[in-house]
Amino acid sequence: MSLQNTNPTNTQAWQELEKHFSKVKDIPVLDLFNKNPNRVNEFSILWEDFFIDFSKNKIDTKAKKLLLALAEELQLSAAIEKQFSGEKINETENRAVLHTALRAKNKPDEVKENLAKMNVFSEAIITGKHTGYTGKPITHVVNIGIGGSSLGPEMVVEALTEYRNHLEVSFVDNLDRHQIENILKKLDPETTLFIVVSKSFSTQETLHNASIARDWFLEQAQQAEYLEKHFVAVSANTDKVAAFGISKANTFSMWDWVGGRFSLWSTVGLSIACAIGYENFENLLGGAQQMDKHFRETPFNNNIPVCLALISLWYNNFYKAETEAVIPYAASMHKLIPFLQQGSMESNGKGVDRNSNKISYQTGTVVWGEPGTNAQHAFFQLIHQGTKLIPCDFIGFKKPIHTYTEDHDLLMANFFAQTQALLVGKSKAEVLAEEKNLGEESPILPHKIFEGNKPTTSILIDKLTPNSLGKLIAMYEHKWFVQGVIWNIYSFDQWGVALGKQLAKNTFKAIVNKDAEEVKDASTKRLLKHYLS
């Protein structure tokens, strides 16, 4: 057993963290600021167009030191090198994990070829050189895929609205027929391109939706040869693509060494290239490449993904915080949360360690959130005054993507005010001074007090661009990786999604046969009977 397969709770650093935690857990963060005039410097990182302020977290100098020692003791550097050098670190699937190779300066030849093909194709769609079966240019692109074959591209396409061209881009992922019907009814088969994206090309939702789209198309186009102009596929399973009826020329390859949730950098990003142009897609890759370099080369105490990962681990394993929230102050980033949920929770929601033993400590956190300012009016009440500890990442931009700078100032004033309110709170004395009609004995008084001391990390970026978005996404990818290394789990498989898929097949059979007895447990049997009645 190498040191990298160690139960983290058995390390010396963990033991010391436990001891230290019991001493410092109740110290208010404001006291830490008072005792340490250098706190903001010590707990912030300025890197290129990113400024990360960790100082509002419940962490002192010693805890930081011990967390960094934990990373060293568990040989994080060696683990990072293993990933970048293409070792088969996804051991349960016997695969390398090389999404970083997709955005590296020197890409593997097969990647270069497929990206070049993507460049030419997206350009032809955008310029109208590629026409539909009646000679009209394509106006609408529909990405059919789910999970990693949808969340990343959709998030990027939505976030970068200011970089969009004239093409309308939609995403169909859900098995609910309602979704695809709603999209198709607005489309014209003559001017629509479908991109069927599935690494495995055996995902129920995607194949089902792709068949619906094909039938819809053929209903009007009539001739199967016209499919060639309107259906392309992205997949690692070219045989299955061919069996579905999409030609080799219309197939973009991806590879088993790219995990679905890390695949937006590959040909899975075809819808991105169509929506914002290939050059902008390359800028996205360029940003990720810069973050990869930062992650690989920067000492841990100044390393953004490493610090984010360790602070999150501190809350998860010592404060026993169950969740963490992400609040982007950019309405166009509303799809960032589901993307991060898959990335973090599918990667690190594991209960068995690398030695195949059941884990006795906490692993993956629950990630949730919503863009600010909407979040303020929905769930911030609980974060400010509830009983749960919820560390939050606030993401904001110095410059807006529009020209209304004062409006942007108003938005960002909310960002800063919220992190400040969460930290500082409002004391009894302050409430009384502000509200003269409230007496000391008023039953309303306790409701108006804010304890403060609620932790936030501020991620302040110059501007939302393809480059900075690439950096931001790669930053979170590396955060999950670091946590997986420390938790001693395999972050790159997802066996936990298999059982439900398997049972759905039998359940569907039971429904078709109208035979609830095929289902084993009493509750589901009763539900099925009711459904069938």
Ligand X SMILES: O=P(O)(O)OC[C@H]1O[C@H](O)[C@H](O)[C@@H](O)[C@@H]1O
Active site residues: 346, 377, 501
Pick 9 or 200: Cβ nearer ligand X: 200
For residue 413 the two structure tokens come to 């004033």
Pick 66 or 273: Cβ nearer ligand X: 273
Q: Minimum distance from CB of 287 to ligand X (Å)? A: 22
Contact between 44 and ligand X by CB under 6 A: the answer reads no
x/- string (CB under 6 A) for ligand X, residues 306-345?
A: ----------------------------------------
Give the one residue of 63, 74, 79, 146 binding ligand X; rule: CB under 6 A: 146
Region from 194-202, 291-299, 315-323, 482-490 binding ligand X, contact rule CB under 6 A:
194-202
Give the one residue of 346, 353, 393, 477 binding ligand X; rule: CB under 6 A: 346
Q: Among residue numbers 50 through 109, which ones bind ligand X (CB under 6 A)?
A: none
Q: Helix or strand or coil: residue 257?
A: coil
Q: Are the CB atoms for 381 and 450 separated by under 8 Å?
A: no
Q: Minimum distance from CB of 459 to ligand X (Å)? A: 25
Count of residues engaged in binding ligand X, rule: CB under 6 A: 14
Q: Helix or strand or coil: residue 233?
A: strand
Give the one residue of 333, 494, 516, 528 binding ligand X; rule: CB under 6 A: 494
3-state secondary structure 132-143: CCCCCECCEEEE
The DSSP code sequence of 292-349 is: HHHHHHS-GGG-HHHHHHHHHHHHHHTS---EEEEEES-GGGTTHHHHHHIIIIIHH-
Give the one residue of 206, 250, 280, 483 binding ligand X; rule: CB under 6 A: 206
Residue 110 contacts by C-beta under 8 Å, 6 or more apart in sequence? 253, 255
Pick 147 or 391: Cβ nearer ligand X: 147
Region from 198-206, 244-252, 377-385, 400-408 binding ligand X, contact rule CB under 6 A:
198-206
Region from 102-110, 144-152, 223-231, 288-296 binding ligand X, contact rule CB under 6 A:
144-152
Pick 209 or 467: Cβ nearer ligand X: 209
CA distance 102 to 401: 27
x/- string (CB under 6 A) for ligand X, residues 104-143?
A: ----------------------------------------
Q: Minimum distance from CB of 349 to ligand X (Å)? A: 11
Q: How do beta strands 50-53 and 44-47 pair?
A: antiparallel
Q: 173-182 contacts: CB < 8 A, separation 24 or more?
A: 173/144, 173/145, 173/146, 173/147, 173/205, 173/209, 174/146, 174/205, 175/204, 175/205, 175/208, 175/209, 177/212, 180/209, 180/212, 180/213
CA distance 39 to 478: 25
Contact between 271 and ligand X by CB under 6 A: the answer reads no
Pick 253 or 494: Cβ nearer ligand X: 494
Contact between 148 and ligand X by CB under 6 A: the answer reads yes
Q: Are the CB atoms for 366 and 345 separated by under 8 Å?
A: yes
Pick 1 or 499: Cβ nearer ligand X: 499
x/- string (CB under 6 A) for ligand X, residues 211-250?
A: ----------------------------------------
Pick 202 or 355: Cβ nearer ligand X: 202
Pick 292 or 346: Cβ nearer ligand X: 346
Contact between 497 and ligand X by CB under 6 A: the answer reads yes
Region from 197-205, 333-341, 353-361, 369-377 binding ligand X, contact rule CB under 6 A:
197-205
Q: Minimum distance from CB of 261 to ligand X (Å)? A: 5
Task: List beta partners, residue 328.
Answer: 395
CA distance 189 to 184: 9
Contact between 198 and ligand X by CB under 6 A: the answer reads yes
**Radius of gyration, CA atoms only, the chain:** 25
CA distance 151 to 153: 6
Q: Minimum distance from CB of 220 to ligand X (Å)? A: 27
Give the one residue of 119, 131, 179, 200 binding ligand X; rule: CB under 6 A: 200
DSSP H helices in 48-136 = 61-73, 76-84, 99-102, 109-127
Return the H-helix or E-strand segment holding 55.
none
Across the beta sheet with 392-399, what order do the strands follow? 44-47, 50-53, 456-463, 392-399, 323-328, 366-369
Q: Minimum distance from CB of 342 to ligand X (Å)? A: 7
Contact between 199 and ligand X by CB under 6 A: the answer reads yes
Pick 349 or 452: Cβ nearer ligand X: 349
CA distance 11 to 74: 8
CA distance 95 to 282: 26
For residue 266 the two structure tokens come to 């590959």
Pick 235 or 457: Cβ nearer ligand X: 235
Q: Minimum distance from CB of 4 to ligand X (Å)? A: 24
CA distance 516 to 298: 58
Give the one residue of 64, 99, 229, 261 binding ligand X; rule: CB under 6 A: 261
CA distance 55 to 39: 6
Give the one residue of 57, 149, 312, 316 binding ligand X; rule: CB under 6 A: 149
Give the one residue of 8, 260, 372, 484 binding ligand X; rule: CB under 6 A: 260
Contact between 503 and ligand X by CB under 6 A: the answer reads no
Residues at the interface with ligand X (CB under 6 A): 146-149, 198-200, 203, 206, 260-261, 346, 494, 497
